[in-house]
Chain A
Amino acid sequence: MQLRVRALETILTEKGYVDPKALDFIIDAYETKIGPHIGARIVAKAWADPDFKHRLFADATAAVGSLGFAGRSTHLIAVENTPRLHNMVVCTLCSCYPWEVLGLPPVWYKSAPYRSRAVIEPRGVLADFGVTLPADTEIRVWDSTAETRYLVVPMRPAGTEGWSEEKLATLVTRDSMIGTGLARAPGAAS
């Protein structure tokens, strides 16, 4: 693949369609700047700041836009996990994912097992991630079939009263923001 891709880039560059420096910039941005740490900051802020939380659930695009991250989100929707409701996000048709706040999706998110099973057997998928929810918790699976993008706000772990946003953000995992995981408990290994 390396040779094949290099040939394609060579042709596109020689014809002036792409600038390798622009490609370098995009790759660097996803390797070093845009990733789940952004989503973790958003979730931690929602946990710590009731006004921001209110704005996030009312209009996530505007609320996240006000924080000034490298990539601007559009049609972003935040959904809240509670003791009674667990949200989980999938794209059964391709790989739609909130790149601006979580970075590039992991391989499993784009894989056939996840895309096929999340909508028909969500508790089985959660079991693959080691997550067991109470039998009466409602599970809501969001299939991202349009240009709307979903960010799950996991439940804030107990025992974190008074924590700063920075410290809270360390508990927010990528998977907890997709809905295939829970936020870490304080003191749990990262």
Chain B
Amino acid sequence: MNGVHDMGGMHGFGKVEPEPDEPVFHAPWEGRVLAMNRAMGYLGLWNIDIGRYSRETLPPHVYLGSSYYKKWELGLTNLCVQFGLIGDDELAAGHALHPAKPVKRTLTAADAPKTLSRGNYERPAPAPAKFKAGDRVRTRNINPPSHTRLPRYARGHSGVVECIRGCHVFPDAVAAGKGEDPHWLYTVVFEARELWGEAADPTAKVSIEAWEPYLEAI
């Protein structure tokens, strides 16, 4: 979706302001939100892309006006309601009012260390890769109203395949409820001038990771 989360190349947000000696969390609730996201993700009802989509679909003014962990809290709450795990009446009451929905598994303290490792998103390839390193490609000009990982600034531009990264779960499909639908994933490099025009830095290049459906041969 062409949402405000897709920020690459936007103007007006100001300077980057690093915080000296930044703490891991700025308030205890931030840690609880992070950990609840991990624990609820462990239930296996949604994957990382569905989680991202829950934050991307926050209203634009809420997305831009909320801190990182507030967005995570809002996204998690929306997912819990959407999947029927909790009700709005329970959120209003601050307590459980209904029996829990049966779930396959929950995260115990004994299993918590598992969540510190990242999942593997590589899958067996349904077909040979269409492109190889060195191929020139153009990103498709797509504007799906649903989740995609092809940023707006990189659509309809020509670049070079630098590397094949394996066959990975396709976010566009999984967030749309169409299953993992794995596709080949490539690192595609663009000259900054191709993306931003002649005034761009001639020494800069930008790469994205692009799934095969994002690309066409040129």
Contact = CB atoms under 8 A, between A and B. Distances in A.
A71 B85 CA distance: 29
B124 to A, nearest CB: 16
Size range of the chain B interface in the assembly: 35 or more
B71 to A, nearest CB: 9
Given A70-B116, A119-B8, A139-B201, A23 B106 contact: no
A interface, over-half SS? mixed
A107 B68 contact: yes
B108 A19 contact: yes
A47 B52 CA distance: 36
B113 A25 contact: yes
A5 B73 contact: yes
Interface string A105-141: 0111011111111111111010011000001111111
Interface string B8-21: 11110111111100
A175 B106 CA distance: 36
Nearest to B102: A16
B86 A5 contact: no
A8 B212 CA distance: 39
Nearest to B163: A77
Interface of A: 1-2, 4-12, 14-19, 21-27, 29-31, 34-35, 70-75, 90, 92-95, 99-100, 103-104, 106-108, 110-123, 125, 128-129, 135-149, 175, 180
Given A113-B15, A115-B7, A148-B209, 13 more contacts: A12-B39, A14-B95, A23-B39, A70-B113, A71-B116, A74-B121, A75-B121, A92-B8, A103-B24, A113-B13, A138-B204, A141-B204, A147-B169
Interface of B: 5-11, 13-19, 22, 24-29, 31-36, 38-40, 43, 48, 52, 55, 64, 68, 70, 73, 76-77, 80, 85-86, 90-91, 94-96, 99-100, 103, 106-109, 111-113, 115-122, 149-151, 153-154, 165-166, 168-169, 171, 185, 187, 189, 192, 195-196, 200-201, 203-211
